[in-house]
Structure 1
Amino acid sequence: MKTVGVFDSGVGGLSVLRALLAELPGTRFVYAADSAYAPYGERTAEDVSERTHRITAHLRKEHGIDALVLACNTATAHAIDALRQHHPDLPIIGVEPALKPAAALSRSGHIGVIATRGTLGSTRFAQLRDRLVAASPRPLWFSSQPCDGLADAIERHDLPVIQALSERYISELLQGSPESPAIDTLVLGCTHYPFAGELLGHLSGTGVTLVDTGAPVARRTREVLGLPPAASATAQAPLLLSSGQPAALAAAAQRWLGLHTEARSLLLA
């Protein structure tokens, strides 16, 4: 049985874990939430990189992972290249805002992107966006909206704040993107955001399709591990670790994934 580490700044990566459990039911998962330091999107690149390296080393030493899914857009943007250099023998799958799938889905060619300020301000995001625009055979627009505080509100399951911030940022995105044609595709560029997907979809309007990264990342992980397509294996209960409050992670896993399992403290050397 393969063991895969799944790492995020908090509970947002559970949206990726949900897709991984469906795609790879016979795999053992160790989910590490660095909730004591969340959200990463409002921390410096140096802080994010340091935490990412420490937790990866812990998952290798203590849990013998065969691969790592970096289920955090900000950690991917700031740390994945150095992480791969430091661990050349470890398959590392990152997540990035799903700009390419969104471009393929969009009819109008105008795509909205909501993400943390750290992700949107990264060189990696700019390069991905610019490559797609340059290679597109038709006009393509990406309108981006940083969503300060939204990942943190989802992390805390603060429903009034999630509502208020979602209304504010979707309004700012749509009002600040008067270009014609209108936005018809919205990229959820943070793994926390799918847990507010129903609300975000309602606020965006019926003509807007939401796109996230969970399913593509799960398929890529299966391919990297060389495993066949999902069979009818019994899913293994993941090990949940949190640097913050383990009970909060367990509650989030129960609320969003239907998992009834305890979480443990993530104790780094």
Structure 2
Amino acid sequence: MALPKFTRSAPIGVFDSGLGGLSVLQHIRQTLPNEALIYVADSGFAPYGDKTSAEILERSIAATDFLLNKKIKALVVACNTATAAAITHLRLHYPDLIIVGIEPGLKPASRLSKTKKIGVLATLSTIQSEKYQRLSAQLSAETSVEFIPQACVGLVDQIEKAEANADQTRLLLKKYLNPLLDANVDILVLGCTHYPFVADLIPELTSAHTPDSEPIKLIDTGKAVASQIQRMLVERDLTTSTSNGDIPRIDAYTNGNPEKLKHACTHWINIPEEKLSVFSFST
């Protein structure tokens, strides 16, 4: 696809397998309040975590092309699984486009851990990816930190159903946390952009294991992604530098349930309804 000429007033495009990327969108909105944003929730094909690499790549290309047709100036792959499976391909095929992915925060976690044992909550696809395997092995060799991955099968589905606080969600999360707590981890990496939406449950579910020690620290890389996209826009002189004080609108697209996406935008990350437009798409 021929890329459009990038302009300062063009929007930033963000896509995820579903609603999880809203946790990243929130950080981008806070870091770059003058920028127009377009969000794509590929909920009709969620979750990505149980898909093959080829299927995830196909969906990532479809979402990217959809956003390029909206004349975006930068792309954020707000999905750990899609980043692992597709970002190398996307950067090769769209070399002129700013593309920022999201990866589990293994590096910051390795610097903070005192026990040298770090739990990584992620999808099975992310854990099995070459990108994750290579990075975790490299950091373990350099720092003597042990990364203990935990595939959280079914957790994304619960969040997509807007049941983050449901009993089933708590049971699933407790099931996945217990082996990590038994291994004496002191850091938990949230290796999926959906997981920040259940982060409030973690202190409650881990407190019994750590009554006399510091609470387990959580690593969420959404803020770092927002800072990176800001740096890259500044380098290319593509930031929206003027504002009349009015917060730009956010256009959100889904091939799932539009009302569910609207509810998540307005209730999970507090986007005012008057600043939000939600559309269906069939890509």
Under a length normalisation based on structure 2, what TM-score does the superposition of the two structures give? 0.87
Structure 2 CA distance, aligned partners of 1:201 and 1:155? Answer: 22
Within the alignment, does 1:225 sit opposite 2:233 as a pair?
yes
- Secondary structure at the counterpart of residue 88 of structure 1: coil
Shift of 1:229: 12
Shift of 1:146: 0.4
* Residue 156 of structure 2: aligned partner: 151
Within the alignment, does 1:243 sit opposite 2:255 as a pair?
yes
Q: Which runs of 5+ in 1 are unaligned?
A: none
1:186 aligns with one of 166, 185, 188: 188
1:36 aligns with one of 44, 57, 62: 44
Structure 1 CA distance, aligned partners of 2:105 and 2:99? Answer: 18
2:140 aligns with one of 133, 143, 159: 133
| Greater alpha carbon shift after TM alignment, 218-227 vs 190-199 | 218-227
2:25 aligns with one of 4, 9, 17: 17
* Residue 74 of structure 2: aligned partner: 67
* Residue 91 of structure 1: aligned partner: 98
* Residue 173 of structure 1: aligned partner: 180
- Secondary structure at the counterpart of residue 49 of structure 2: helix
- Secondary structure at the counterpart of residue 69 of structure 1: strand
Under a length normalisation based on structure 1, what TM-score does the superposition of the two structures give? 0.92
Identity over aligned pairs, percent? 40
Within the alignment, does 1:3 sit opposite 2:3 as a pair?
no
Structure 2 CA distance, aligned partners of 1:86 and 1:161? Answer: 41
Shift of 1:266: 2.1
Query: CA offsets per residue over residues 6-28 of structure 1, 9 Å max, x none?
Result: 00000000000000000000111
- Is the 1:115–1:146 contact (alpha carbons within 8 Å) kept by the matching residues of 2? yes
Structure 2 CA distance, aligned partners of 1:56 and 1:199? Answer: 33
Equivalent pairs counted in the alignment come to 260
Query: CA offsets per residue over residues 107-145 of structure 1, 9 Å max, x none?
Result: 222111100001001000011111212222xx3111111
Shift of 1:55: 1.2
- Secondary structure at the counterpart of residue 161 of structure 1: helix
| Greater alpha carbon shift after TM alignment, 65-74 vs 254-263 | 254-263
- Secondary structure at the counterpart of residue 154 of structure 1: helix
Within the alignment, does 1:108 sit opposite 2:110 as a pair?
no
- Is the 1:111–1:184 contact (alpha carbons within 8 Å) kept by the matching residues of 2? yes
